[in-house]
Amino acid sequence: MDHARIDLEHLLRTAGLRVTGPRLAVLDAVGTHPHAEADQIIAAVRESAPRVSHQAVYDSLNTFAERGLLRRIQPRGAVARYESRVGDNHHHLVCRGCGLIRDVDCAVGLAPCLTPANRHGFTIDEAEVIYWGTCPDCADRRTGAPPHELRE
Amino acid sequence: MDHARIDLEHLLRTAGLRVTGPRLAVLDAVGTHPHAEADQIIAAVRESAPRVSHQAVYDSLNTFAERGLLRRIQPRGAVARYESRVGDNHHHLVCRGCGLIRDVDCAVGLAPCLTPANRHGFTIDEAEVIYWGTCPDCADRRTGAPPHELRE
DNA sequence: GTCGCAAACTTGAATGACTCAAGAGAAGAG
DNA sequence: CTCTTCTCTTGAGTCATTCAAGTTTGCGAC
């Protein structure tokens, strides 16, 4: 618990950011709720710090995403989600049925598809891969109960 | 171009959709404005058909995306964009500076990265790849050099 | 320790892409 | 031509996210 807090403090300081209660709470919440959306993070933060404003959470999330402390993912048709696993070039599996997101490592290697056929003069620094499909639960559900939500 | 209109009509009919003025206008606008957002498509549609409602455009775009007549792309932090190039598994190059989007074919082949290391039981039907980077103009602008060519 | 100030936070309102709803209008099968 | 059903219009509503203004606080400097 406490040494985790020390780690988060260190993370903030090395990023040149001030250490504050709301920020520690946001970092902690993102760590314990991978792929959560802003709403869920606000709720999680308020469990330990009820007086934190939604604005502070958004500010923190944006700042952290900007500085690379966490990663924002936003599948089409969905709201933004956040995760603390950064810098390891992993990708995401998204269920078209229920929106479930899972992490996956790419089969090709550490930097998959980083070389498109024609880079049009761009300097490329990241390849983001989203695999679209159906999760096991939704596949089962399709033969019985009606689907969930987030249909496309 | 009348034969282009015939093609669009055919496209709608084979998708089991009724042929209407607004729909033809939307298909045409997406074709001539690749990677445009809904707003721009509404504006383009209204050049030829001023009385079309924004709702009709959204309905059309959603229906077309659902039926595979066009593709919706939505880089994180940006609003949805649409393109008429479908079914050829191409990907996108997105500039972090100005949001410019360009099509790219994947170097790996027709179905890049369709096999993640662990599919968690998912049935995967699409791999979406976004290359993030800086376009030539934004790179020049950053070093004070004169711009390159016209934005898309 | 405490001063000063930029960074961060709170409160509250605003924005804007997108959706919902209800009724009118038109496509197209029979 | 007629009828059914799909599509369109109008107008209001939603909701994630941002903007703005004023207050508080972290923390380097004295």
pLDDT at B140 over 80: no
- B17-69: per-residue pLDDT in tens? 999 999 999 999 999 999 999 999 999 999 999 999 999 999 999 999 999 99
Nearest-nucleotide field for B12 (CA, C1'): C27
User: For residue B137, with 0-12 CB atoms within 10 Å meaning exposed, 13-18 middle and 19 or more buried, which class applies?
Assistant: buried
Name the stretches of chain A with pLDDT < 70.
Answer: 1-3, 106-117, 141-152
Residue with tokens 């949805």: B80
Shortest distance between the Cα of B8 and any Cα of chain A, in A, equals: 23
CB pairs under 8 A between A and B: 151
Which secondary-structure segment (H or E) carries A111? Answer: none
* Terminal C-alpha separation, chain A: 41
Instruction: Please name the nucleotide lying closest to B9, CA to C1'.
Output: C27
DSSP alpha helix (H) spans, chain B: 2-14, 21-32, 38-48, 54-67, 136-142
Query: How far apart, in Å, are the Cα atoms of B41 and each of B6, B52, B136?
Result: 21, 11, 26
B88-142 fold? Dna Ligase; domain 1 (3.30.1490)
Above 60 in pLDDT, residue B150?
no
CB B22 within 7 Å, strand D: yes
Q: Which of B67, B128, B134 to mutate to test the interface with A (most CBs of A within 10 A)?
A: B128
- Asked if residue B119 has pLDDT above 60, the reply is yes
DSSP A143: T
Distance in Å, residue A60 CA to nucleotide C8 C1': 9
3-state secondary structure of B83: strand
Those residues whose C-beta lies under 8 Å from the C-beta of residue B82, and which sit 6 or more positions away, are B30, B35, B36, B37, B38, B41, B61, B64, B65, B70, B71, B72, B73
When pLDDT is cut at 50, 70 and 90, the band that residue B91 belongs to is: confident
- Look at residue B86 in the predicted model and tell me its pLDDT: 77
Annotated domain spans of chain B: 2-73, 88-142
Q: Is the CB of B23 under 7 A from strand D?
A: yes
Class of domain A2-73: mainly alpha
Q: What is the CATH number of domain A88-141?
A: 3.30.1490.190
Which residues sit close to strand C, CB under 7 Å?
Answer: A 17-18, 20-23, 51-56, 59-60, 63, 77; B 13, 18-21, 37-39, 54-55, 58, 62, 74, 79-80
Measuring alpha carbon to C1', the residue closest to nucleotide C10 is A53
Interface of B with A (CB under 8 A): 65-66, 72-77, 80, 91, 93, 95, 102, 104-108, 112-136, 139, 148
Q: Which residues of B touch A122 (CB under 8 A)?
A: 93, 95, 102, 131, 133-136
